[in-house]
Chain A
């Protein structure tokens, strides 16, 4: 395999919790705790998990929007964490991000053409005289009319605004686009439009996506590979097919079985998880999932499981569970769906 476009090793992001009379650091919220993965050129890697699992912080930390506490980040072979501020700014041209709320991330006082122009001017990718043509082209690429570039963000619907966000990201010819819950705020019909657009653009411009989402349906649709996170850790990583057809980690299995299926005749055998996600300030010892796991035993409380490949897994599929072999043997490969 060739060198990946992007790689992070042992990424950590801790947020200090201050308190007491002297406002001293009391403890850390370990939002991202020792996460490693790579993204290859042209693929879509998704990070999926529930609120508080650290998926968004991971996305922000690899862009250095939040300076990581520890760990390595390589982009195109270059050590991303060693870059100075000004070098980083130039490098940001290659990694763009699209946020969940397109309205909050567009300047309401700028016309769309100004928004797009500014992005290109800062990165110096397109000479000034060529920019109007490029703006027209970008508008068409994302399915808007070129004349609409004269309008302000509030004149657009949610789906259209997200298209503007995509156009802005594309304007600087990035290599990697991080989509942080990019379609979560949209209605199903608009969501489908934007998802199809992202897939089209990827084919057309050979883009690489890091797709962060809580919606496993969306993730299945868009991804090549999937990372499942729980409380700041990766619990399972696999290509899409293996993850959905043969999930090994009990959390992945529970997550998949919890999603309501839009088919009333299909009975799902649900693994209902007890309780809530524990606080990342004081995560459980051993396996972080053991407090909610129906299969937990003594070892899970004491030893933290490593990501590993079990005998029946395909290459590149890893899960962090002490008992995955027994669970898969006992409950079969697909956890939930029975015709």
Chain B
């Protein structure tokens, strides 16, 4: 487990990103806090529409119109990135903070060789000359496990397989030795055997460089395997946060529990999958209280009030203080509220 006593590499506080559409404001990310330390991996997990990808795009300041970062702060080793001008931040992006995406084909430029694309980042950020950049690019390609890197550097993206392209993306992302790597569904488009290779590669590279990694995925298996800490997102909010072992041992939020019981597993027999009824509410029908309320089997009157993300103090059994959950069940108020209900 990583040390977190020093200043975190990334600290996000109260992040709010909204999309201003004809039908009104859609709060894609609504008050998200988390931090990631050096050598640490934070996993953000959630289903489509949970705001996990917008969170990562916000950190990279790649949210496109009509989307806008409305509030909060994003601190990279103590500097607020949201206070930087566009040109100032451009020096950070791809240099101190890098990102890899789900689909490596669409994130690579089809008309340049991969060698050119890896050296481009080095020439811009590290001010290397053409020759040095080329050499360094080949070294990076080798580092990410591409066989015959001198030859592959001359190839175009379409000449490589999906797994190889993702390795090239990783080579570009890591070429400037970033402090933070954001991986948004890095293996979702890949086959399982290739996924295993890529996850292993990211882990090894992190061990040698000590960078902080933010991994965004819908796959709880990938989370269990790669993350040190986990944030579960639902409808634009973090609903539960804990270190990975605690989260999987005793998920607290009804949504997290539901999610875990809904995955068909290849290593365990399950007769019937547990189902979370309904679907994620659209922004127009978002409940003002707990956003999971309409789908929650435990919903009670108190859930009409919006709960905050807090350390559980009640009803959670195991004595440990790590983690936080956004649910009334784990507060003192729950007991009084449900007792009152019983009396009525």
Interface residues in chain A, defined as those with a beta carbon under 8 Å from any beta carbon in chain B: 50-51, 157, 159-160, 187-193, 195-196, 199, 214-222, 244, 254-256, 258-266, 270, 272-273, 276-277, 336-337
**Given contacts A195-B264, A221-B270, A276-B161, A189 and B258 within 8 Å (CB-CB):** yes
Question: Which of A199, A244, A259 gathers the greatest number of chain B CB atoms within 10 Å?
Answer: A259
Write 23 A-B pairs (CB below 8 A) sorted by A numbering. Answer: A189-B262, A192-B263, A192-B264, A192-B273, A214-B191, A218-B264, A221-B270, A244-B266, A244-B267, A254-B193, A258-B192, A259-B221, A259-B267, A260-B222, A262-B260, A262-B265, A264-B224, A264-B244, A264-B248, A265-B248, A272-B196, A273-B196, A277-B191
Q: How far is the CA of A215 from the CA of B275 in the complex (A)?
A: 18
Q: Are A276 and B279 in contact (CB under 8 A)?
A: no
Q: Nearest chain A CB to B199's CB is how many angstroms away?
A: 7
**Given contacts A218-B264, A261-B265, A262-B260, A276 and B163 within 8 Å (CB-CB):** yes
Contacts of A261 in B (CB 8 A): 221, 224-225, 265, 267
Contact residue among B193, B245, B262, B270 (Cβ-Cβ distance under 8 Å from A264): B245
Contacts of B57 in A (CB 8 A): none
Give A191's nearest chain B residue, CB to CB. B262
Q: How far is the CA of A264 from the CA of B227 in the complex (A)?
A: 9
Contacts of B194 in A (CB 8 A): 276
**Given contacts A51-B191, A196-B275, A260 and B266 within 8 Å (CB-CB):** no
Contacts of B265 in A (CB 8 A): 217, 220, 261-262
Contacts of B269 in A (CB 8 A): 220
Which residues of chain B (194-226) have a CB below 8 Å from chain A? 194-197, 199-200, 218-225
Q: Are B279 and A217 in contact (CB under 8 A)?
A: no
Q: How far is the CA of A220 from the CA of B219 in the complex (A)?
A: 17
Q: How far is the CA of A182 from the CA of B334 in the complex (A)?
A: 41
Q: Are A258 and B274 in contact (CB under 8 A)?
A: no
Q: How far is the CA of A264 from the CA of B262 in the complex (A)?
A: 17
Q: Nearest chain B CB to A186's CB is how many angstroms away?
A: 9
Contact residue among A160, A188, A193, A255 (Cβ-Cβ distance under 8 Å from B263): A188
Q: Are A189 and B195 in contact (CB under 8 A)?
A: no
Q: B272 in the interface, Cβ–Cβ < 8 Å?
A: yes
Q: How far is the CA of A222 from the CA of B271 in the complex (A)?
A: 9
Count A-B contacts at CB 8 Å. Answer: 121
Q: B143 in the interface, Cβ–Cβ < 8 Å?
A: no
Interface residues in chain B, defined as those with a beta carbon under 8 Å from any beta carbon in chain A: 47-48, 161, 163-164, 191-197, 199-200, 218-225, 244-245, 248-249, 258-260, 262-267, 269-270, 272-277, 279
Q: Are B218 and A263 in contact (CB under 8 A)?
A: no
Q: How far is the CA of A157 from the CA of B161 in the complex (A)?
A: 33
Give B197's nearest chain A residue, CB to CB. A272
Q: Nearest chain A CB to B256's CB is how many angstroms away?
A: 11
Q: Are A263 and B224 in contact (CB under 8 A)?
A: yes
Give B245's nearest chain A residue, CB to CB. A264
Q: Nearest chain B CB to A303's CB is how many angstroms away?
A: 24
Q: Are A189 and B199 in contact (CB under 8 A)?
A: no
Give A51's nearest chain B residue, CB to CB. B191
Q: Are B224 and A262 in contact (CB under 8 A)?
A: yes
Contacts of A222 in B (CB 8 A): 264
Q: Are B273 and A195 in contact (CB under 8 A)?
A: yes
Contacts of A217 in B (CB 8 A): 263-266
Question: Which of B195, B264, B269 gathers the greatest number of chain A CB atoms within 10 Å?
Answer: B264
Q: Are A270 and B196 in contact (CB under 8 A)?
A: yes
Q: Are B262 and A255 in contact (CB under 8 A)?
A: no
Q: Are B192 and A255 in contact (CB under 8 A)?
A: yes
Q: Nearest chain B CB to A245's CB is how many angstroms away?
A: 10
Give A265's nearest chain B residue, CB to CB. B245
Q: How far is the CA of A50 from the CA of B73 in the complex (A)?
A: 42
Q: Are A50 and B262 in contact (CB under 8 A)?
A: no
Q: Are A50 and B260 in contact (CB under 8 A)?
A: no
Q: How far is the CA of A191 from the CA of B218 in the complex (A)?
A: 12
Contacts of A187 in B (CB 8 A): 47-48, 218
Q: Are B218 and A188 in contact (CB under 8 A)?
A: yes
Question: Which of B197, B218, B270, B273 gathers the greatest number of chain A CB atoms within 10 Å?
Answer: B273
Q: Are B273 and A260 in contact (CB under 8 A)?
A: no
Q: How far is the CA of A222 from the CA of B218 in the complex (A)?
A: 21
Contacts of B260 in A (CB 8 A): 262
**Given contacts A157-B279, A261-B225, A265-B248, A221 and B264 within 8 Å (CB-CB):** yes
7 closest A-B pairs by beta carbon, nearest first, are: A260-B221, A221-B264, A192-B262, A50-B191, A187-B47, A192-B273, A216-B266
Give B244's nearest chain A residue, CB to CB. A264
Give A219's nearest chain B residue, CB to CB. B266
Q: How far is the CA of A160 from the CA of B192 in the complex (A)?
A: 28
**Given contacts A50-B191, A159-B279, A254-B193, A189 and B259 within 8 Å (CB-CB):** yes
Q: Are A260 and B219 in contact (CB under 8 A)?
A: yes
Q: How far is the CA of A268 from the CA of B151 in the complex (A)?
A: 35
Contact residue among A50, A51, A188, A336 (Cβ-Cβ distance under 8 Å from B259): A188
Contact residue among B193, B221, B249, B270 (Cβ-Cβ distance under 8 Å from A273): B193
Q: Are A258 and B47 in contact (CB under 8 A)?
A: no
Contacts of A215 in B (CB 8 A): 264
Given A51-B191, A217-B266, list of 18 further CB < 8 A pairs? Answer: A50-B192, A160-B279, A187-B48, A188-B262, A192-B263, A192-B264, A220-B265, A255-B193, A258-B193, A258-B195, A259-B221, A259-B267, A260-B195, A261-B267, A264-B248, A265-B248, A336-B267, A337-B267
Q: How far is the CA of A259 from the CA of B222 in the complex (A)?
A: 9
Question: Which of B219, B244, B248, B266 gathers the greatest number of chain A CB atoms within 10 Å?
Answer: B266
Q: Nearest chain B CB to A103's CB is how many angstroms away?
A: 14
Question: Which of A192, A217, A277 gathers the greatest number of chain B CB atoms within 10 Å?
Answer: A192
Q: How far is the CA of A247 from the CA of B198 in the complex (A)?
A: 25
Contacts of A270 in B (CB 8 A): 196
Q: Nearest chain A CB to B180's CB is how many angstroms away?
A: 22
Contacts of B267 in A (CB 8 A): 244, 256, 259, 261, 266, 336-337
